[in-house]
């Protein structure tokens, strides 16, 4: 955490030491920067850990200057993007240099905070529901913790694709929020979530509820928010107490189903694998950082970001954002984010 705090303290000073704009660089005046949890273990594993970790990678802003080989942007363009994992710069700087292949145009009607606050969750939702699985009409999608910033966007994307959505809620407030979600069409009273499973009291069986909702067939796509793997597991937080067991996920999966997991250390025993084999089901790991780990994915990546902005401009995506935060509160806010204590997306606005 000290690494992150130091970066927040010094980020504003970095703009004074910006190197000259290189051929493919875009100089951006940052207008908003979203704060997301930093996976320090992942950075260490891929040899990117450093003394100071840049804070805030999702940015929106105005182009000030472009390098001589930049073809997609010109000064005064409004842009949005995600800084790469190996970025030396923090999105909390007022002016930064970004390679043009990490940016797309921001629609004029989309505000700065919404653009920066949606791009990461939108990328994760597309990765899960378009590339790792295919949410489409006739399919049932279970989104765990649907009231989280990521869960909200995933629900909206799945419903837009015509899928039936089931979601879990960790509190009465979350349940009420999910039950109020509606498509962005005036006069349409259809619910975005066909069934909300309130697991806050620990008495509701998620697998049983899903099988009941699907007539015993099971769900086609499960997007988890973590799972319990062992009976004697750490339950020090309320959320960890409410997580489903991995056996519940396997039970509620339908034939040919897809389990998209955020559990990076998932362990499947032979009986678990055999159950998945009998169902012809698949397990995929959701890691949205893959897009920038190989240049071969660059075209798809930029296409996803453009589509996220287009859906945001049409109100198909309506993100879970907290009120914009001034820069001087970035340090305290980042501590909350890094401890996973923020229930809405936190955005710093300049």
Q: Which of 25, 45, 9, 15 is nearest to 265 (CA)?
A: 45
Note the pLDDT of residue 12.
46
Per the confidence metrics, is the pTM higher than 0.85? yes
Q: How confident is the model at residue 52 (pLDDT cuts 50, 70, 90)?
A: confident
Mean pLDDT of all residues in 95-123: 96
| Rounded Cα gap, residues 187 and 15, in angstroms | 48
Percent of the chain, pLDDT > 90? 70
The answer, yes or no, to whether residue 104 has pLDDT greater than 90, is yes
- One fold for 25-106+320-349 and 132-285: yes
Longest CA pairwise span in the chain (Å): 62
Q: Report CA-CA distances (Å) from 269 to 290, 308, 347.
A: 27, 37, 41
Query: Tell me, which fold does domain 132-285 have in CATH?
Result: Quinone Oxidoreductase; Chain A, domain 1 (3.90.180)
Please check the confidence at residue 337 and state whether its pLDDT lies above 60: yes
- Per-residue DSSP letter, 102: G
Q: Where are the domains of the chain?
A: 25-106+320-349, 132-285
Checking if the pLDDT of 265 tops 60, the result is yes
Quick check: 144 pLDDT over 90?
A: yes
Instruction: State how far the alpha carbon of 235 is from the alpha carbons of 12, 174, 228, 242, 292, in Å.
Output: 39, 21, 9, 9, 34
CA–CA distance, 322 with 333 (Å, rounded to integer): 11
Mean pLDDT lowest among 9-23, 90-104, 108-122, 123-137: 9-23
Count Cβ atoms within 10 A of the Cβ of residue 191 and give its class: 0-12 exposed, 13-18 middle, 19 or more buried. Answer: middle
User: In this model, does residue 102 exceed pLDDT 70?
Assistant: yes
Per-residue CA distances from 331 to 39, 56, 207 (Å) = 17, 11, 40
Interatomic CA distance for residues 96 and 115, integer angstroms: 17
Q: Which two tokens stand for residue 63?
A: 């182009």
pLDDT tens per residue across span 59-75: 999 999 999 999 999 99
Q: Inform me whether the pLDDT recorded for 7 exceeds 90.
A: no
Strands 164-169 and 195-198: parallel
Query: Among 17-26, 255-264, 339-348, which is the least confidently predicted range?
Result: 17-26
Dist. CA 75–CA 78, nearest whole Å: 9
Q: Is the pLDDT of residue 87 over 90?
A: no
Instruction: State yes or no: pLDDT of 273 exceeds 50.
Output: yes
Rounded to 5 degrees, what are φ and ψ at 35? -105, 125
What would the mean pLDDT of 171-199 be, rounded to a whole number? Answer: 80
What local confidence, expressed as pLDDT, does residue 277 receive? 97
Q: Is the pLDDT of residue 303 over 80?
A: yes
Nearest to 119, CA basis, from 259, 336, 288: 288
Hunting for tokens 């993100």 — which residue is that?
Answer: 319
Tell me, what's the pLDDT at 225? 92
> How many CA atoms lie within 13 Å of 316's alpha carbon, on the beta-carbon side?
15
Mean of all residue pLDDT scores within the chain: 88
Integer angstrom CA distances of residue 143 from 48, 80, 237, 249: 32, 27, 20, 12
CATH topology of domain 25-106+320-349: Quinone Oxidoreductase; Chain A, domain 1 (3.90.180)
- Res. 237 pLDDT band, cuts 50 70 90: low
pLDDT classification of 45: cutoffs 50, 70, 90: confident
What is d(CA 248, CA 227) in angstroms, rounded to the nearest whole number? 9
pLDDT classification of 189: cutoffs 50, 70, 90: low
Rg of the chain's alpha carbons, rounded to an integer? 21
Residue keyed to tokens 């990678």 = 57
């Amino acid at each position: 955490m000290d690494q992150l705090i130091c970066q927040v303290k010094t980020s504003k000073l970095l703009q004074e030491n910006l190197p000259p704009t290189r051929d493919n660089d875009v100089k951006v005046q940052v207008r908003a920067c979203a704060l997301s949890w930093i996976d320090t273990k992942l950075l260490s594993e891929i040899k990117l850990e450093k003394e100071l970790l840049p804070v805030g990678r999702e940015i929106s802003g105005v182009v000030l200057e472009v390098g001589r080989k930049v073809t997609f942007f010109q000064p005064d363009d409004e842009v949005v993007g995600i800084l790469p994992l190996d970025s030396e710069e923090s999105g909390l700087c007022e002016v930064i240099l970004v390679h043009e292949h990490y940016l797309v145009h921001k629609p004029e009607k989309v505000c700065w905070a919404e653009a920066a606050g949606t791009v990461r969750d939108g990328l994760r939702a597309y990765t899960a529901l378009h590339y790792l699985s295919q949410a489409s009409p006739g399919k049932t999608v279970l989104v765990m913790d649907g009231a989280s910033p990521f869960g909200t966007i995933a629900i909206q994307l799945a419903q837009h694709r015509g899928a039936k959505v089931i979601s879990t809620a960790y509190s009465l407030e979350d349940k009420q929020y999910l039950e109020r979600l509606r498509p962005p069409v005036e006069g349409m009273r259809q619910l975005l979530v066909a069934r909300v499973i309130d697991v806050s009291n620990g008495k509701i069986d998620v697998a049983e509820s899903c099988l009941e909702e699907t007539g015993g067939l099971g769900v086609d796509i499960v997007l988890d928010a973590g799972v319990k793997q062992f009976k004697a597991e750490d339950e020090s937080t309320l959320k960890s107490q409410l997580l489903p067991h991995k056996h519940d996920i396997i039970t509620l999966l339908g034939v040919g189903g897809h389990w998209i997991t955020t559990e990076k250390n998932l362990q499947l025993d032979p009986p678990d694998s055999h159950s998945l084999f009998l169902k012809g089901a698949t397990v995929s790991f959701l890691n949205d950082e893959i897009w920038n780990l190989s240049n071969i994915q660059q075209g798809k990546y930029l296409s996803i970001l453009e589509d996220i902005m287009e859906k945001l401009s049409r109100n198909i995506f309506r993100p879970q954002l907290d009120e914009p935060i001034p820069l001087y509160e970035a340090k305290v806010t980042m501590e909350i984010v890094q401890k996973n204590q923020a229930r809405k997306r936190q955005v710093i606005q300049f």
